[in-house]
Structure 1
Amino acid sequence: MARYSDNFIEELKFSVDIIDVVSDYLELKRAGNRFKGLCPFHNEKTPSFFVNPDNNFYHCFGCGAGGDVINFVMEIENITFTEAVKVLAEKAGIKLPNLTDREKKLYQEREQLFEINKTAARFYNYLLLETELGADSLKYLKDRGFTEDDIEYFQLGYAPDEWKAVLSFLSKREYSLDMIHKAGLISKGKNNSFYDRFRNRIIFPIFNIRGEVIAFGGRVLPDSEQGAKYLNSPETAIFSKKKNLYGLNRAKKYIRQEQRCIIMEGYTDVIQAHKKGIKNAVASLGTAFTDEQAKLIKRYADQALIAYDSDTAGNKATLRGLEILNNHGIDVKVITLPEGSDPDDILRENNLELFNEYMDKAESLVDFKIDMIIKGRNLNDPGVKIKTLKEAAELISGIDNEMEKEIYVERTSQKMNFDKNVLNKEIKMRSKKKKRKNFSRKEKKIDKRRKVKKSDIVRIQEQLLSYFITHKHLRSSLSQIISADDFYGKGKKLAKIIWNGPFISDSVSSDKIKSELGEDLKSYWSEIIVKQKSGLNKDKLFNLAKFVVEKNLEVSKNEICSRLNNGQNDLQTLNQMLKKFHSLNSNSERGD
């Protein structure tokens, strides 16, 4: 993390409106003095994500994610602190201060990786469009219906059938061997020699959502026998396959507009789709979806249509991926394409109308899974039919909505030519088993919720703590009235760190305090700050602090009396309680 001065970070956060920043990623609605929306970091149906514009903090009461505007950009964009500061500084029109030598080196290395990839992309693009070396690849692309405008739009290129073409090109531009290797453009061979990773391949640059080249995909020509059909860049400091989607930089605006994303398998599928006007299409960089990719899509839409060929869509890896999308609250539908066809094939034949028909007929994930269960089975065989029935019942029993469940029972019984009452009986039996399993878990959750319910006194303590953190000039005065021992639970842990350390000083920034906390307290920190009420002046805060001390004194006194009245005369325990009482009494007198 770059060590920018506290003053600079405070100036940056003050200059950027967190509501404006967060609204670029999700819809926010006013809720009192705060704003709320569906959390972009976990799946939820009821908004538990709150943003407080008064102090530029956010917190999700569902998953615990929280922090300031810099933390938000880091998490949502999956970038470093330094990169988030740069993004926000550009947004606010603020010039960045100088970094330390080490920080500058790390930052410059990442920047150089972007630069190397950008330069390589231009090199590949030039070879494809302007040289004889790329003539065959250019003809292949044009034969598939792509124009030079399409090629430029996605910056397609060609890697020649040479061992050191891109290596030589980049080396002449004074990029080091080490950095070219770190970018994933060259591989290490025997005797520590290096050679181009991509050779005799059509090149598809892969961009992050900000439009920076982070990696490449390479496809061999149909008549080539050189290695695998597709080859991607390895994982690098700026590229993780599981965290990106091909074409999202171009598609994100349209996905948000249409509130659905079309997920395809190949690069050319996406390019052909965009060419034909289906601009909300992306490719998954592999058939198995990841949590990170699901979160990416969830930022922009609540529905995803999968347009893989039938063999790919039905394999286990793809089905697991579709479950991941579903688990993130995305309404998943599967477009069933003819055997052996992909979107590129259909759209290339100018059959946009036909593809739209396939999209309109897209099946729900449950329907598709039932089809996969039935597919290829001889349902005339009683044993096979019973096995298929049980598998379908297991699937349908997991549906919570009774009306939806009944619809799938009706459809499945028709597809299998089976009495729906028998299917219903099997489903009910399985549902009862699941309810019994979940009963004890639910009871534990209810007990847990009862335990964590905050009393009025704890809520007041949280307000005091939040003001102590964000209003540096009040720290010294407040600490004269209330001590760390006056707080409960996590509040007490946080108060002890602040009261008993150097952070009591009004010269210490809130970020400095936060940097010393563990993850549990960081989450608690953002929670109390986002709930901070505006308009509490110094006198009101001091009165609240005195109220807390007096309440604690009353509680302590009652505990001692209760033990004595009940004959619980353990001297050691009583001495400890009396010591606590005198300490609280001392605090009470100090606050008068």
Structure 2
Amino acid sequence: MNSPIEEIKARLNIVDVIQGYIRLQKAGINYKAACPFHGEKTPSFFVSPTRQIWHCFGCGRGGDHFKFIMEIEGHDFPEALRLLAGRAGVILKREDPRLRSERNRLYDICETAAEFFEKNLSVTPAVLRYVGARGILPATAKEFRIGFAPKSWDTLLKFLQGQGFRVDETEKAGLAIRSEDKNSWYDRFRGRIMFPIFDAASRVIGFGGRIFDAADTRGHQDRGQAQNEAKYVNTPNTLIYDKSKVLYGFDKAKQDIRVAGQAVVVEGYMDCVMSHQAGVKNTIAVSGTAFTPQQLGMIKRLADTLVFSFDSDAAGESATKRSLALATEFEFERKIIEIPAGKDPADAVLENPESWRTAVAGALPVVEFYYRKAFARFDPKTPEGKKEITALLIPLVVELRDEIQKAHWIEKISASLSVPREAVEKELMRRTPGSTAPAQAPGVAPESVPTRRDILEERLLALLTVVAHDIQDSFGDSPYLSFTASQNAEIFAILRAGAERPMPEHLAPYYSMLRFKGEILKEITDSPVAEFRVSWRELEKECVRDRLFTIKGEIELLEKTGKHGDVLPLLADFKTLSLHLKTIQ
């Protein structure tokens, strides 16, 4: 019996899966397109319907159905598996069908509620005027599916019952609350402007509701709002909604985050909506709280830079600092957007969208931002001022993982405060906790960056799969050519021997990828044989350089330990290799 993974691949053609996201053009037996993962003008992204795999020759990404979904959607593997299983109609055996059915009902309830709220907004002029006064355009309201919950106890409940949903299901979806006497239910959201919350697949999974009062036009505390009524009410955790794993706007921003290489992080729903409207499409919101490891994991799969813009009040400042500290553990580059005090991103966009775009483009690295802030707030000439400035800056310098950046800031702080460098270094050491390895974002496997030698090995083998028969009589030889990966060495030996036999089972998937790359290289190069010769020569150079580096280290070690007699053979090898390197260069 096939595994769920094999069953999904058998039911879904990879061409159809990828064409759901980008436009593919026929290119011989394959398909090509401009890569969705990096900017390019000449298409270098290829899909093989024969092998059911894809590869980009520009950025090096490639893989199967699941890898594409993980890259394009920002999913981890389990999420990609569930998404494709749903599209293929494959039931994952570990999942209780009853649980799956219950989840689907909750998705349906949330979608139906979103439609209900949208319709109510369209027929409530006072709320439409408020939304317009906040600067939200009709097209933006439609894109984010903003709605309105009537100010009544059970209007939504009755509507959903009329649509065939039970009251207990509505409660499980987070849309209804059971009364204290347990005998009745009432709507959770009443008299509120509604912001649907979507998962990465753009399904409605929850809501954020902002209190509405016609007397309020700026989004601040409402004059008619009861003191004990929260300004915002959010869906509680449900079977389909977990606040710690969701980012508002992520479903709309993920492609732009990938392209920009960074995510702009704001605090509230309105900030996110207005930022998108201003053209900063890589914006997400954390809904007034600090980041969680799960949320950072979602972004880490797409980008390495976070650009923060939280409210300048005490709560916003606190959330920013907590998020900054956690983000550095995941090795994000961190920047902060500077906007006028008392304003938030929504205010900035309403006043002047261009000013917001300029502020985002001019975001400062985190230490630079707080450096300017500290020296503007405190007097660097007084002992008290020096103490306050170092108290603010040193913890941020400690968080830097790049030693060059640390050295730069030690020098700058020392010069700006007119104190010895040693004093800054001592304070840095005092505040430095025990050294720890970088945190790993949940669901993000650490990826090693391929070296030039790794790339050349793969290119050589890919070309060899399509030129092996043409060069059997002129293959050549080199005692210096070797492979770092054992599977590369095995495939090279098989192809060089010219053996007409299937690849061993453990090599078959990797060999299939190499064949695909070889076929594409054959199409896009004038002479595959010439390209193979060039790759051979370049790989041989890398092998020789690596060996020279190793010998150099061995010689230094022997000289340090006084074993001078053992150095001479190594010196002879070093000379021979150096001469050979000059010859092949």
TMscore range, shorter length = 0.5 to 0.7
1:388: Cα distance to partner? 3.6
- The 2-side partners of 1:529 and 1:232 are apart by 54
Residue matched to 1:156:
146
Report if aligned partners of 1:156, 1:203 keep a CA contact under 8 Å in 2: yes
For residue 180 of structure 1, give the secondary structure of its aligned residue in structure 2.
Answer: helix
- The 2-side partners of 1:216 and 1:326 are apart by 30
1:299: Cα distance to partner? 2.1
- The 2-side partners of 1:434 and 1:219 are apart by 42
**1:373/1:151 CA distance change after superposition, 3 Å:** same
Please state if 1:429 is matched with 2:422: no
Residue matched to 1:287:
289
1:371: Cα distance to partner? 5.0
Equivalent residues in 2 for 1:13-28 (5 A)?
Answer: 13=9
- The 2-side partners of 1:86 and 1:301 are apart by 22
Residue matched to 1:268:
270
Deviations 1:142-175 (A, max 9, x none): 1122232221111111111101011111011121
Query: Quick one: which amino acid aligns to residue 356 of structure 2?
Result: F
- The 1-side partners of 2:97 and 2:489 are apart by 36
Query: Quick one: which amino acid aligns to residue 8 of structure 2?
Result: L
Report if aligned partners of 2:205, 2:241 keep a CA contact under 8 Å in 1: yes
For residue 153 of structure 2, give the secondary structure of its aligned residue in structure 1.
Answer: coil
Please state if 1:217 is matched with 2:217: no
**1:215/1:429 CA distance change after superposition, 3 Å:** same
Query: Quick one: which amino acid aligns to residue 197 of structure 2?
Result: I
1:23: Cα distance to partner? 13
Residue matched to 2:547:
none
**1:272/1:196 CA distance change after superposition, 3 Å:** same
Report if aligned partners of 1:117, 1:213 keep a CA contact under 8 Å in 2: yes
Residue matched to 2:186:
195
Report if aligned partners of 1:309, 1:336 keep a CA contact under 8 Å in 2: no
Report if aligned partners of 1:251, 1:282 keep a CA contact under 8 Å in 2: yes
For residue 261 of structure 1, give the secondary structure of its aligned residue in structure 2.
Answer: strand
1:324: Cα distance to partner? 1.9
Question: How many correspondences in the alignment?
Answer: 404
Residue matched to 1:316:
318
Structure number with higher relative contact order (C-alpha < 8 Å, ≥ 6 residues apart): 1
**1:315/1:199 CA distance change after superposition, 3 Å:** same
Residue matched to 1:334:
336
Report if aligned partners of 2:327, 2:334 keep a CA contact under 8 Å in 1: yes
Report if aligned partners of 1:55, 1:529 keep a CA contact under 8 Å in 2: no
Residue matched to 1:256:
258
Residue matched to 1:364:
365
Report if aligned partners of 1:70, 1:85 keep a CA contact under 8 Å in 2: no
**1:114/1:97 CA distance change after superposition, 3 Å:** closer
**1:145/1:316 CA distance change after superposition, 3 Å:** closer
Equivalent residues in 2 for 1:447-486 (5 A)?
Answer: none
Structure 2: unaligned runs, 5 residues or longer: 22-49, 54-63, 217-221, 438-484, 495-500, 507-585
Residue matched to 2:387:
386
Equivalent residues in 2 for 1:24-423 (5 A)?
Answer: 69=66, 77=75, 84-85=81-82, 87-88=84-85, 90=87, 94-96=88-90, 103-130=96-123, 134-192=124-182, 193-221=184-212, 222=216, 223=222, 224-226=224-226, 227-311=229-313, 315-349=317-351, 351-370=352-371, 376-377=377-378, 379=380, 381-386=382-387, 388-389=389-390, 392-393=393-394, 395-413=396-414, 417-419=416-418, 421-422=419-420
**1:360/1:408 CA distance change after superposition, 3 Å:** farther
For residue 355 of structure 2, give the secondary structure of its aligned residue in structure 1.
Answer: helix
2:6 aligned to which of 5, 10, 34: 10
Deviations 1:215-250 (A, max 9, x none): 000001233414111111001111111111111111
For residue 333 of structure 1, give the secondary structure of its aligned residue in structure 2.
Answer: strand
- The 1-side partners of 2:3 and 2:328 are apart by 44
Report if aligned partners of 1:396, 1:405 keep a CA contact under 8 Å in 2: yes
Query: Quick one: which amino acid aligns to residue 208 of structure 1?
Result: D
1:203: Cα distance to partner? 0.3
**1:236/1:432 CA distance change after superposition, 3 Å:** closer
Report if aligned partners of 2:144, 2:195 keep a CA contact under 8 Å in 1: yes
**1:402/1:255 CA distance change after superposition, 3 Å:** closer
1:398: Cα distance to partner? 5.0
Report if aligned partners of 2:103, 2:240 keep a CA contact under 8 Å in 1: yes
TM-score calculated relative to the size of structure 2: 0.59
Report if aligned partners of 1:334, 1:365 keep a CA contact under 8 Å in 2: yes
- The 2-side partners of 1:367 and 1:230 are apart by 34
Query: Quick one: which amino acid aligns to residue 404 of structure 1?
Result: Q
**1:397/1:279 CA distance change after superposition, 3 Å:** closer
Equivalent residues in 2 for 1:498-577 (5 A)?
Answer: none
- The 1-side partners of 2:188 and 2:487 are apart by 49
Q: Say what the alpha-carbon RMSD is for the aligned residues.
A: 4.4
**Of 301-310 and 151-160, the range deviating more from structure 2:** 301-310
Deviations 1:457-501 (A, max 9, x none): xxxxxxxxxxxxxxxxxxxxxxxxxxxxxxxxxxxxxxxxxxxxx
Report if aligned partners of 2:378, 2:388 keep a CA contact under 8 Å in 1: no
TM-score calculated relative to the size of structure 1: 0.59
1:84: Cα distance to partner? 2.9
For residue 96 of structure 2, give the secondary structure of its aligned residue in structure 1.
Answer: helix
1:300: Cα distance to partner? 2.0
Query: Quick one: which amino acid aligns to residue 360 of structure 1?
Result: A
Deviations 1:254-292 (A, max 9, x none): 222222221111212222222222212111122311111
Query: Quick one: which amino acid aligns to residue 364 of structure 1?
Result: P
Structure 1: unaligned runs, 5 residues or longer: 26-52, 57-66, 443-527, 543-592
For residue 310 of structure 1, give the secondary structure of its aligned residue in structure 2.
Answer: coil
**1:8/1:376 CA distance change after superposition, 3 Å:** closer
Deviations 1:289-337 (A, max 9, x none): 1111112122222222112232258633321112222322321110111
1:126: Cα distance to partner? 0.4
**Of 424-433 and 220-229, the range deviating more from structure 2:** 424-433
Which has the larger helix fraction? 1
